[in-house]
Structure 1
């Protein structure tokens, strides 16, 4: 089995599944350190996108469920279906014909199958997820939003993960650190977003009083 997976004919398919495994390991490690890779990638993609309404999702992207799933979930689904389809096609050709089909043909079939099953499984998974508003949230709109530290302790140059709810009721998991030097936020503390800087946010302590 290992020799089959490492065969040159299966290089791209094994790589796709390897990336999925690596993302899973990173997500588990991130949760241990108080960072959700799933939330961060999805929010970063949404907040960093500088597109106007005319360049929104195409019908093809909508058919692929790209507008209904978190970006990382969709990517994992695509890589999994592409890799699995390619390995399946090569296994069948090797079993039935004792040889591999042309690499370009198998890759093309795997891409088509990957897109098809991503669309089907993606639509099914999207129906299981909580409904969200279709309006995108920009970084400017999150300024002034109140949230709390979910895991870890936030210090300057050592951000922790915080959870925030935007005006549309959508949750955002962001890396935050104190705006003031020598200040720190512990798990559960309420904080106020002040400014986005690179991959993280600067925040101040929030008081209900």
Structure 2
């Protein structure tokens, strides 16, 4: 009965998600046995995002940057985040289809069911990344404090940074790792357009304050 349920057309995306999880687990397991992390390259495809978020601020930061920070992407290896998402997507999808089928006598179409399932998966992914990040050992050799980024050059990458309206920017630490942070002008009258290079001078909570890069001698 269970096999017939998971093989129904309306449950196809959720069955595929769980099958992919099984395949990824087998491949990674074999890789670990031979001493190679098969999916380690995925971590290099995403920027290192500043995950240490303080209390909410009454500003209007970059939506994309805030969303990725909320998901805690980068807290654990990407392959683990992918597995958490796929498992949540598959199980939540089955649950939603089961509830809808019990109430209305028929499940949703596969495409429509994916929409609420995806939405519900987002907070599950965020919590999953936090939990895994807390229990997994981390390599501290390349860890940097947030204040260590002060004094470095950053580039505005998303939107326009104005006073009380921070924009997303990127900065490299001493290990040459890229961090995506929120940047606001330190001077009230300054406006930093996308692509401008700025100097980070201080930090308040999750917001970095910057001044214009007036010296050509300064490099990233």
- In the TM superposition, residue 116 of structure 1 has moved relative to its aligned partner by 1.5
Matched, 1:12 2:13: yes
Question: Would you say the 8 A contact 2:31–2:38 is kept in 1?
Answer: yes
Distance (whole Å) between structure 1 residues aligned to residue 136 and residue 31 of structure 2: 22
Aligned match of 2:66: 59
Which residue of the other structure, out of 59, 84, 87, is the alignment partner of 2:91?
A: 84
Q: CA deviation at 1:40?
A: 4.4
Assess if the C-alpha contact under 8 Å between 1:65 and 1:126 holds in 2: no
Contact 1:38/1:73 (CA < 8 Å) preserved in 2? no
Moved more, 5-14 or 125-134: 125-134
- After superposition, residues 159-170 of structure 1 pair within 5 angstroms as none
2:25 match: 24
Q: TM-score, normalised by structure 2?
A: 0.51
Match of 1:35 in 2: 36
Query: In 2 relative to 1, CA 69–31 (structure 1 residues): closer, same or farther, beyond 3 Å?
Result: closer
Deviation at 1:59, TM superposition (A): 1.2
Find the counterpart in structure 1 of residue 45 from structure 2. Answer: 45
The residue matched to 1:58 in structure 2 has which SS?
helix
Q: CA RMSD in A?
A: 2.7
Contact 2:100 / 2:106 at 8 angstroms: preserved in 1? yes
1:124 aligned residue (120, 131, 141):
131
Q: Structure 1, unaligned stretches of length 5 or more?
A: 50-54, 136-166, 171-209
Q: Deviations over 1:112-156 (max 9, x none)?
A: 111121012212222223454259xxxxxxxxxxxxxxxxxxxxx
Query: How does the TM-score come out when normalised to structure 1?
Result: 0.54
Taking structure 1 as reference, are residues 33 and 126 closer, same or farther at Cα in structure 2, changes over 3 Å only? closer
